[in-house]
Amino acid sequence: MLQELRFRICNTDPDTPIMLHEGKLAQEFGVSRTPIRQVLQRLSFERLLETRSGVGTVVSALDPAECGLHFSMLSDMLRLCTRCCAESYTMQSRIQIAAIAELSAKPGNDPLASYFAIRAQFLELASGLVRDPIIAEAHAALHWRAIRWRMQAARADVAGAFAALRNVVSKLAETEKPAGLLACLADEPATTA
């Protein structure tokens, strides 16, 4: 449920307001409202949603005029993360890097969903390398914003988005330490398509 709702949010124009109703989501996913509330709470923590008094739960709108600022903030945060990241890769992080490389080489039948999955794996990988949990959570919130913008670009030109993604993946393959990977992600251009 969590990843499906993230995909829906990220696959919608960032400046488009969307209402999310607990009851409808519970019915759609065939669960009670309790797990839906937990998922919505997590999405809110990631700054993908906000709860407005008298309105309900809505997808957080992003101002197109702030797109560049969002990418700049993510880049700065990733550079900060290099100061508190793991010294070396764990087996799990090596597996994640290999999975990202494989998925980017062969996107499958639904390239937009694959693109989102890879971007979400980048986020998970980067956050997992950061030893400070507060910095990791702040990074994740900023990274989700960037994913929303990148998904908008991917919808316009998925082939171009994948070409840019493969370029980043090839640079990541050359990094030997987590700090290098985070710096590589920090250097990724804001536009992808």
For the chain, 193 residues long, give each residue's pLDDT as a single digit of tens.
999 999 999 999 888 888 998 899 999 999 999 999 999 999 999 999 998 887 789 999 999 999 999 999 999 999 999 999 999 999 999 999 999 999 999 888 899 999 999 999 999 999 999 999 999 999 999 999 999 999 999 999 999 999 999 999 999 888 999 999 999 999 999 874 4
CATH assignment of 2-59? 1.10.10.10
Cβ–Cβ under 8 Å, residues 17 and 59: yes
Q: What are the tokens at 188?
A: 């990724």
42-136-170 Cα angle (round to 5) = 110
pTM for the predicted model, two decimal places: 0.92
Q: Tell me the sheet residues that pair with 56.
A: 52
What φ, ψ does residue 49 adopt, rounded to 5°?
-130, 160
Give the three-class secondary structure for 174: coil
